[in-house]
Structure 1
């Protein structure tokens, strides 16, 4: 593929990845299990900033049908597409709903690895780390 054609494909992939990241964010807030199941890779490894790991089934169990987030915003996002893999980095700011009407918040750096699966993208890996003050 030539330079211009390859650049156009990369640009289209970058836009598609940006869109699916937003779809994932909205599904997490809504607790939309159907969408979450569709965008998470079956071999997902999902690492939290406290170090605990989850599989796709565990993430679905935690989020699907639940109101886990009062709000969730992503900022300072970068997307780097390399072939059929996309590396996404952003700041993840959330207000998390806890039992008894309480909340907590998160302000973390996140790295996502997306893989092109057919015509769409699926989240294969996610890792996060606290932001030091």
Structure 2
């Protein structure tokens, strides 16, 4: 086999993989932002919650309550709402320009102030926007799963 043929064979194997990795980059970045937000919620990390959410955040709960960014962060940091564990499954990420739609199932153990420890299982829709090079949560809506 000639060197030119060998080189072409290697190129045809490498180039599609590089292109595939580049096309998945925004989805990967969004998935990492979702992971960071989940961890910040468990840790009640105010600075991280502020960094990962847009100023115009609309955070909808399965109860119908909708919180602003300030309310969302305060509820977690104050201990009013406590997530002891959060597991995300069946996640999909679709990026269109600087906007991303994420869907997943959230299963969590909670220990909210004034309530008994509990569990929740929710279907979640998240809308993320990329602002100044960083993905931020703009909107969230949850629906209870029977």
Superposition TM-score, scaled by structure 1 size:
0.89
CA change 1:65–1:33 in 2 (3 A) is farther
Counterpart in the other structure of 1:26: 39
**Does the 8 Å contact 2:82/2:113 carry over to 1?**
no
Q: Which of 30, 35, 43 is 2:48 aligned to?
A: 35
Q: Which one has a larger percent helix, Structure 1 or Structure 2?
A: 2
C-alpha RMSD of the superposition: 1.9
Deviation at residue 8 of structure 1 after TM alignment: 5.4
CA offset digits 1:55-77 (Å, max 9, x no partner): 00000110125371111111110
**Residue deviations 1:64-93 (CA, integer Å, cap 9, x gap):** 253711111111100000111000000011
d(CA) in 2 for partners of 1:38, 1:8: 26
CA contact (8 A) 2:53 2:137 kept: yes
Equivalent in the alignment of 1:60: 73
Q: Distance in 1 between matches of 2:58 and 2:50?
A: 14
Q: Which stretches in structure 1 are left out of the alignment for 5+ residues?
A: none
Name 1:112's counterpart in structure 2: 126
Q: Which has the larger radius of gyration?
A: 2
Whether the 8 Å CA contact 1:45–1:125 is kept in 2: the answer is: yes
Match of 2:139 among 121, 125, 130: 125
Hey, what's the Cα distance between the residues in 2 that align with 1:81 and 1:100?
A: 39
Aligned 8 A contact 2:90 2:104 in 1: yes
Partner of 1:91: 105
